[in-house]
Amino acid sequence: MRFKIFILAFFISQQILISQMPKADIIFINGKIWTVDKSKPIAQAVAVLGDKIIGVGTNTEIKKYAGKNTKVVDLKGRLMLPGFIDDHTHFVSGGFQLMSVDLRDAKTPDEFAKRIKEYAEKNPGRWITGGDWDHELWGGELPRKEWIDQFTQQNPVFVTRYDGHMGLANSAALKLAGITRETPDPPGGLIVRDENGEPTGILKDEAMSLVYRVIPEPTLEERINAIKLALEEAKKLGLTGIHDIGTSDDLRAYQELYKRGELTIRVYLRLPISQWEDLAKLGIQVPFGNEFIRIGSLKAFADGSLGSMTALFFDPYNEDPNTRGLATDIVQDGRLEKWATEADKAKLQLSIHAIGDSANSLVLSIFEKIVEKNPTWDRRFRIEHAQHIHPKDFQRFKKLNVIASMQPYHAIDDGRWAEKRIGKERCRTSYAFRTFLDSGVKLCFGSDWNVAPLSPILGIYAAVTRQTLDGKHPEGWFPEQKITVEEAVECYTINNAYAEFAENEKGSISVGKLADFVVLSEDIFKISPERIKDVSVLMTVLGGKIIYQSESF
């Protein structure tokens, strides 16, 4: 009798406990949930109240959070991951590119010119920008203003290579910018000239600013519309967070969208390092903001790009022994080191673009000086791209706790022609994902959109297979640098959260964290790596709200 009373009392107490449990707004059940939380790596179900996770576990455990008003989503065995975070985007530029002429897959000079001609006919009198062309697709010849001048007499044109480090201006744009044969190359830039000394229309790195300064600035509403287009792309790809490289005007646009309730992504905005003093005077320290918009990280450039042969190397390019690349003007005149030192002292994070091995080494040396000179704090240095590393510098990354902020799609894209630029030996430590991880370096992944596709799925595929876009490396381009699917997912989730000082708030499916999730069409941990590129996003959840759901789910 006493045993029966005990069982009854235990049952009643359990029911009381269940009745007192908070009731979720939404629960997801019957899934394979890869949490990226090492204390509970796999789960079946998750419960959300408001915008936070309140339970992670089995179906039985999570169903206890269900009340009469709880929405129940059956994942039907699908894979759920934490929402993807892209650690390096030009998000607003990507939105504008969606509104501009698209030259990314133009395979011939004729196709290049035809697309610009058609766009000019539909948009008489307007600036034509965007482009994202790749001259390697038609054999490597750089475009010239003569290709398009006859079609664009009424339209100034400045269309950039997909890496953003050189662009083609037509004669109308050159005239507005005041660029003639007498115009000197600016520090950190190059005006490409023909055999007679006349500008061909190609401008590299800092020379591009001569045209940018005469292109009319978009209005706030135009900027907002560009972001809206970008947001639609992002939600379809499972992105719930971005580390954007932008301006104070972009910040205003994000704030306006947030006020309107239309911001469907969490933004960590990196402003130009030239603005460090403005932020410091206001007392802003990283990370400053709320769960949707944060600032406090500063972006700077140390060199250019491999494709434009402006990335800075120790040794000359194989393709052109007359150049080692270009250090930016702020490197040459010492402003980068000065600004970086003062910004770090103000507890602002440094995110510095470096592609060539010399540029990476130079930035590491600046970081070393900062550590020696400034007070210790949780600074989380970042080198953006970290593409080509001298073997001696991997341990310097580790010693200084520098985050390698990389974009894996570049490896399978640039891998088509990188050896032509810099030779096989230097390519062995290019896009060195495995070496960074084995060296104990925090590795983070992003897209560099609009330079490359925004899709994190493509990024994971690239990191895991390293199969170049031309199909010539089926086993992977320098396959010893491949990493696992699990590692690649961590680079797109918890590692990126760490890079923005938010690892305690997001980046894994853990109780108390933001309820940001993505559901995929297939289990990327089980299918062959070559099939990952074809996996689609079925659902994107931001703060417990379903912001995207495919028709097939």
CATH number for the domain spanning 167: value is 3.10.310.70
- The three-state secondary structure class of 382 is strand
For the chain, residues with pLDDT lower than 50 are 6, 8-10, 13-14, 16-17
Whether 48 is in a domain gets the answer no
Whether 192 is in a domain gets the answer yes
Write the CB contacts of 518 (distance below 8 Å, at least 6 apart in sequence).
80, 81, 82, 83, 84, 238, 240, 537, 539, 540, 541
Specify the pLDDT at position 7: 54
Specify the pLDDT at position 19: 52
**Which residue pairs, CB below 8 angstroms and at least 24 apart, start in 194-199?**
194/144, 199/145, 199/174
Q: What whole-number distance in Å separates Cα of residue 300 and Cα of residue 336?
A: 8
Conformational region of residue 348, where left means phi above 0, alpha means psi within -120 to 50, and beta covers everything else? beta
Tell me which residue of 543, 525, 406, 427 sits closest to 480, measured CA to CA. 427
User: Residue 311 burial by CB count (10 A; 0-12/13-18/19+): exposed, middle or buried?
Assistant: buried
Specify the pLDDT at position 99: 86
Whether 295 is in a domain gets the answer no
**What domain count does the chain have?**
1
Specify the pLDDT at position 395: 98
CB 218, CB 241: distance < 8 Å: no
* Each residue's pLDDT tens digit, 310-331: 999 999 999 999 999 999 999 9
Whether 454 is in a domain gets the answer no
List the domain range (segments joined by +) for residue 150. 100-212
Tally of CA atoms within 13 A in the half-sphere of 462 that contains its CB: 29
The structure's pTM equals 0.88
Between β-strands 349-354 and 382-385, what pairing exists: parallel, antiparallel or unpaired? parallel
Specify the pLDDT at position 2: 56
Whether 122 is in a domain gets the answer yes
Write the CB contacts of 308 (distance below 8 Å, at least 6 apart in sequence).
161, 163, 165, 166, 204, 205
Specify the pLDDT at position 297: 98
Whether 7 is in a domain gets the answer no
Q: What whole-number distance in Å separates Cα of residue 520 and Cα of residue 213?
A: 43
Whether 300 is in a domain gets the answer no
Whether 208 is in a domain gets the answer yes
